[in-house]
A and B are shown apart, each in its own frame.
Chain A
Amino acid sequence: MKSICFYFQVHQPYRLRNYRFFEIGRDHHYFDDYQNRYIMQRVADKCYLPMNNLLLDLIKEYGQRFKVSFSISGVALEQFRDYTPEVIDSFRRLAETGSVEFMAETYSHSLAALKSKDEFASQIEKQQSLLKELVGYESKVFRNTELIYSDEIGDMVYNLGYETMLTEGAKHILGWRSPNFMYCNAINPKMKLLLKNFRLSDDIAFRFSQQSWDGFPLTAEKYVDWLNSIASNEEVVNLFMDYETFGEHQWKETGIFDFMRALPGHVFSKSNFAFNTPSDLAAQLQPVSAIHVPHPISWADEERDLTAWLGNDLQDDAFDALYALEHMVKEINDPHLSHDWLRLQTSDHFYYMCTKWFSDGDVHKYFNPYGTPYDAYINFMNVLSDFKLRIERAQSGDQSFTKEITKPQVELKSEGNSEKQKSGISDSQEKKNAVKKSDSKNDENKRNPNVLVVRKVLTILSAEDIWVLYSGLNKAERQKIEKYIGKKKWKEMIVLKESGYKPDAEAKKAMKKKFKELMLEHA
């Protein structure tokens, strides 16, 4: 009996807001709450919720025979908790089935493994504690950010108490060998390794809807044929991918959900494969040999190395400047500073600074808030400069560094009030915060309260809603939208526009009505 091991990476970063030079030393709120919340809600609607439900259905249907595994970054868990708590509930239900394994990873989906063992260990601990709190799960298997792995990292992870780890079945590491076996670490043979079968994984993750691909259209039947064609002695096919593959990278319209719904049935009836989790496989399989990985590998881009995050001057300068602060952050041990420190380490910030646009640009553009890697670098460094100032102030005993903490997100009273209740913000607190917020608004808003309302309503609506609205407006009205919409949302809307999505007349009319209602509501 051979195994299929499904593993899904769940992660969303805290994207930085547009942080200007003049804000350095004055404003310590770094993150784009509106954008982050909007993206979380959108991906929850398109991917996390429907796909979790689909998996639940499959587990109901096939019981313990159907299994999958996940890793969820701490920053994603935090955002689920604050923005879309129904996703947490849904993961918890999956955990309760016993058919789903959740793996350990770094809290902020960081590159800490490459820089600091201390930080790495502490982030794993933090991620585990939040996973336990929210999903009720304690992990046995480890999965590093973007499958980043080296001999040293593997050994380090073993010493932190994990005996199995996932990584990429990179060609330049494996040579003639197949990824479809259990391997082990070259320094420490007790550390077991599961390697991604990138061909069969990417058939689903990247090529599924590619019409130019000779495998198109991919059906469950065809896929099971391919599974059956692997060599008879091989033991496991590791299918590792972004969870956002389902519904986000591959839209619902491509049939990706139908494919996944049909797959287990075909596997059971037409093959001798079983579904297993990494922990099952660790118990069942013995390593066939060690693999030598002296230089770190990852699952990213054609190169399967670190160049998506590190290696160009922008990335290296930002990365070194960030980690130069590590011991100071730890020494000060202030909750606000430590929290921001975690979020700033998220690998996505460095990913946005990648200059390899031409070969892998498409993937790098995914929810990228920046127009160019230079913008990404400048913005990150502005934020980091402020962060460093706070550290310096803290060291000199000045307490003002913790005063201006994360701005409250209360003014977003959008669809569903559930978030508000769950996040536990009381009304009085909300009013206080709202007053504080309005003080800091610029003069234009003071002069014209109507502008404030337009701005507010535009932050509430999703980019998709705004596009529907916008496409039904006359030019003068459009100008107004253009003037008051947030820069990032505008960019998102343009992406939608360019995707050729044209709302019908009825949708436009309905959205106009909704807009007017929202305007009245917030006036």
Chain B
Amino acid sequence: MRVLMFGWEFPPHITGGLGTACFGLSRSLARLGIDLLFVVPRAYGDEDQSMINLVNASDITVDLEESEYHEFWKRIQYMSVASQIIPYVGTEEYSKINFEELKDEFQNNSIFTHKYTFSGKYGNNLLYEVSRYALIASGIAASNKFDVIHAHDWLTYPAGIAAKEVSGKPLVIHVHATEFDRSGENVNKDVFDIEKRGMEAADQVITVSNLTRNIVINKYGIDPSKVTTVYNGADAFQAQEIKSIDRPFPEKVVTFLGRITFQKGPDYFVEAARKVLEKDPNVRFVMAGSGDMLPRIVKMVAKYRMGDRFHFTGFLKGDDVDKMFAYSDVYVMPSVSEPFGISPLEAMRSNVPVVISHQSGVSEILVHALKIDFWDIDAMADSIYGLLHYDGISKMFKKYGREEVDQLKWDNAAANTIDVYNKVL
């Protein structure tokens, strides 16, 4: 079976959860014998390359030394399309990006190992870029052979639809997040329409959780019989051995790590912190990340006069994320709306007990986690306090949590995905 996949990012350029998921899934699909033509947009595509570029697997530097992987790369063919669509930004943020400026900055770059550039000709209209990408996709579909089309998240749905129209092959779309998760009730109509059209045109819809499945069914009016939940795996990358860190202060640490935006519920975390600190001042709370709600959160913390117990790290990457987990005694994900939620899994893998909201997809599969409603700050404070003070439960979570996460395999997700493919063939 050969799958034409419209995905996001490939190593070594993975910057977020969507890229990680695409990478984990495609690798496992290949392992299970699926051939893939994996198409990614490259906003920073090399200047001197043509519109569509076949990427040689040997160009992909990450993990290639491990012979184990060589086998899988043989089944995956990568194509990159020079396009300015980029994941993780909304239409409004997108319109603010000055591509001409970025182009200027990234050109002739001798310090970074890769050359970056922008086509720069297409203006700042994300929706225009999405349809342009779809146009190129139809070209790819016309000139390649495959059995199924698989498109990840709304920016690539039009590409999936176009490919289906050209080739007549069945389309599977994969919903990692919906506009309702990104924007709450202030839904962007254009994005919603693209999502809805994609779901309607699809022969099968994969959602990353039942939470998302319900949104797809209820808010987009999609027939439940064609919507299947396939949970993500947690083993896209080799788990780092966690080095223990000697924490330079005696207080226990409770951590929030994520974008500081409405969707992630940072304000509920502050409220819960306040309640815990009233009971026990010997705790430090840390908010790691950045986002448009940061000023408001900082003001809240100052207003509650807990600035010397509530710290901000700014955006963390790489080693610092591991370090942050190593510092932590409790990890909290109070998301208001989280289709899946990979970060608590990373915490559990680092032996940190987690408190997660019911409003997250990952709460559907985790057993060794305390679950609360995002708005229930009393329950959140209770859970944090309990994990900090009652060894029985935190020991148990540490003991079984890691094991539980290790069971979440992309191979299982891939097998379930192949089942979905078989439904449409």
The one of A22, A314, A475 in contact with B107, judged by C-beta atoms closer than 8 angstroms, is: A475
- Nearest CB of B to A309, in Å: 14
Q: Is the CB of B308 within 8 A of A314?
A: no
In residues 294-340 of chain B, which contact A (Cβ within 8 Å)?
Answer: 294-295, 298-299, 301-303, 305-308, 311-314, 320, 323
- Nearest CB of A to B267, in Å: 15
Q: Is the CB of A321 within 8 A of B108?
A: no
**Given known A24-B311, A389-B249, contact A479–B302 (CB-CB < 8 A):** no
In residues 465-523 of chain A, which contact B (Cβ within 8 Å)?
Answer: 474-477, 479-480, 483
Chain B neighbourhood of A53, CB < 8 A: none
Q: Is the CB of B307 within 8 A of A381?
A: yes
Q: Is the CB of B313 within 8 A of A21?
A: yes
Q: Is the CB of A317 within 8 A of B313?
A: no
Q: Is the CB of A313 within 8 A of B108?
A: no
B225 contacts the other chain (Cβ, under 8 Å)? Answer: no
Q: Is the CB of B308 within 8 A of A384?
A: yes
- Bound form: Cα–Cα A479–B110 in Å: 8
**Given known A476-B111, A479-B111, contact A22–B313 (CB-CB < 8 A):** yes
In residues 176-223 of chain B, which contact A (Cβ within 8 Å)?
Answer: none
B286 contacts the other chain (Cβ, under 8 Å)? Answer: yes
- Nearest CB of A to B160, in Å: 38
Chain A neighbourhood of B49, CB < 8 A: none
Chain B neighbourhood of A312, CB < 8 A: 302
Chain A, Cβ-Cβ closest to B311: A21
Chain B, Cβ-Cβ closest to A387: B308
Chain A neighbourhood of B305, CB < 8 A: 316-317, 320-321
The stretch from A31-39, A125-133, A246-254, A371-379 touching chain B is A371-379
B109 contacts the other chain (Cβ, under 8 Å)? Answer: yes
Chain B, Cβ-Cβ closest to A483: B111
Q: Is the CB of A313 within 8 A of B303?
A: yes
- Bound form: Cα–Cα A20–B324 in Å: 12
Chain B, Cβ-Cβ closest to A318: B307
The one of B247, B248, B286, B302 in contact with A377, judged by C-beta atoms closer than 8 angstroms, is: B302
The one of A20, A378, A385, A474 in contact with B108, judged by C-beta atoms closer than 8 angstroms, is: A474
Chain B, Cβ-Cβ closest to A400: B248
Chain B neighbourhood of A123, CB < 8 A: none
- Bound form: Cα–Cα A483–B105 in Å: 12
- Bound form: Cα–Cα A377–B299 in Å: 10
Q: Is the CB of A381 within 8 A of B311?
A: yes
Chain A neighbourhood of B108, CB < 8 A: 474-476
A318, A381, A483 interface centre (most CB from chain B within 10 Å): A381
Which 9 residue pairs across A and B have the least CB separation, nearest first? A25-B248, A476-B110, A313-B302, A317-B302, A313-B303, A21-B313, A381-B307, A374-B298, A314-B302
A-B contact pairs, 26 of them (CB 8 A): A20-B314, A21-B286, A21-B312, A21-B313, A24-B248, A24-B311, A25-B247, A25-B248, A26-B248, A312-B302, A313-B299, A314-B302, A318-B307, A320-B305, A374-B294, A381-B307, A382-B311, A384-B307, A389-B248, A474-B108, A475-B107, A476-B108, A476-B110, A477-B110, A479-B112, A480-B111
Given known contacts A21-B286, A377-B298, what 9 new A-B pairs fall within 8 Å (CB)? Answer: A313-B299, A314-B298, A316-B302, A372-B295, A377-B307, A384-B307, A389-B249, A479-B110, A480-B110
